Structure 1
């Protein structure tokens, strides 16, 4: 399998992820996979899959739509949109981000690094914290 094939396969499994397909994702990552996002930094397949198990436990209808896939010299990249609803109140959320994927010699993912704006897409939308972040942004913005 080529790196591009491995990347596209990962993208497909990631986009079709459900609690029942977590093992499919686990098969595509190395035993010591490193995962980083704005809330986590962990190692190991079980810890990695635990992030997604918790996502399915805590959220309603979580899902990813992959809009772009690219392979660079050192990594693969997935551009995605995550949608979900909170279990308390059912508020709809949308987060846009990118995953940087590094591959091992066996073409399994050795690093999954998520890049997205937690401040603007998450913290700023929380009631009290959002107001405070808005005040700071107004004070720091170029146009006042």
Structure 2
């Protein structure tokens, strides 16, 4: 059985999206509309929005709230007009653990339209393990709950 055909245009669009996110800077947030359809949907553990301006707001806030945030894409699977990316998100908190690089590992499901623009961006990552456990007070509680759940 042959694998499903993936159009070269989709592969190229995914490559452009990956390069965009791996090189994202505060100035690049304004150009998100070059990669996302006007009514694109974005969802992660903290946000669910529709439209380029709302998506730009999420990434602008990321740069305001965190030190040196950046994405490193570690894997990709493209099938038809969809792709699944695995990634590491590296950053430092501005107020706690200042200057200490934190890593969140996650994945994104992207759906692209015929023009190669993202119409759906859904991020999957474990907020409890990847974020809450790294916070001083909440982290201690999360680690305790995790220990209680496994014993």
In the superposition, the TM-score normalised over structure 1's length comes to: 0.91
CA distance in 2, matches of 1:4, 1:43: 24
Q: CA deviation at 1:73?
A: 4.2
Structure 1 counterpart of 2:147: 138
Tell me the matched-pair count.
Answer: 142
Render the CA deviation track for 1:69-123: whole Å, top value 9, x for unaligned: 2102452122111111111141421111111101123220001101111110111
1:17 counterpart SS class = coil
Residue equivalent to 1:125: 134
Query: How far off its partner does 1:23 sit?
Result: 3.3
Q: Which moved more, 1:92-101 or 1:71-80?
A: 71-80
Q: Which runs of 4+ in 1 moved over 3 A?
A: none
- 1:98 equivalent to 2:110? Answer no
Q: Give unmatched runs, 5+ long, in structure 2.
A: 1-7
The TM-score normalised by the length of structure 2 is 0.87
SS in 2 for 1:31: strand
RMSD: 1.5
Aligned partners of 1:42, 1:27: CA distance in 2, in Å?
18
- Is residue 2:55 matched to residue 1:48? yes
